[in-house]
Amino acid sequence: MKKIAIANDHAATEMKKEIVKMLEAEGYEVLNFGTDTNDSVDYPDYAKKAADAVVNGDADCGIVICGTGIGISIAANKVPGIRCGLCKDVTDARLTREHNDANMLAMGARTTGMETAKDIVHTYLTTPFSQGANHIRRIEKLGKLDGSIQ
């Protein structure tokens, strides 16, 4: 079974709840690091918790959601070892896994419809990394940039 860290800010509480239901119905274990209310919070605090769980191996991958997905993806990508792709459609989700071996997915609750978000999550979770030599080389360079690879 795959463990998935999920986090969100106040703009994405409802989307997070729906995604969690879907994931649990599909047999995933979900570690919820997001807020469960609509009270205003700061997305970097929640992104860091989920990203830390991925980097530490407590979760196999992570999903972060805010209003647009932009801020929370930037925050997640500040954690060394994280490759978080902001995805607006299933093509983005497929390519961020195939080419970037993204270990986190970001989405925007205000910019992405619920059914599209579910399709994005499903695609992200079921698409394998291509193992292409050119992609491996680039991922290693990313790791050197953030210091997660020496």
Q: Which CA distances in Å does 129 have to 17, 90, 125? A: 27, 15, 11
99 flagged as catalytic: yes
φ, ψ of residue 98 in degrees (nearest 5): -65, -45
| Catalytically annotated residue among 10, 61, 66, 84 | 66
Q: End-to-end alpha-carbon separation of the chain, Å?
A: 31
List CB contacts of 52: < 8 A, sequence separation 6 or more. 79
Q: How far apart are CA 108 and CA 35, in angstroms?
A: 15
| Catalytically annotated residue among 10, 61, 84, 99 | 99
Q: How far apart are CA 3 and CA 53, in angstroms?
A: 10
Active-site residue list: 66, 99
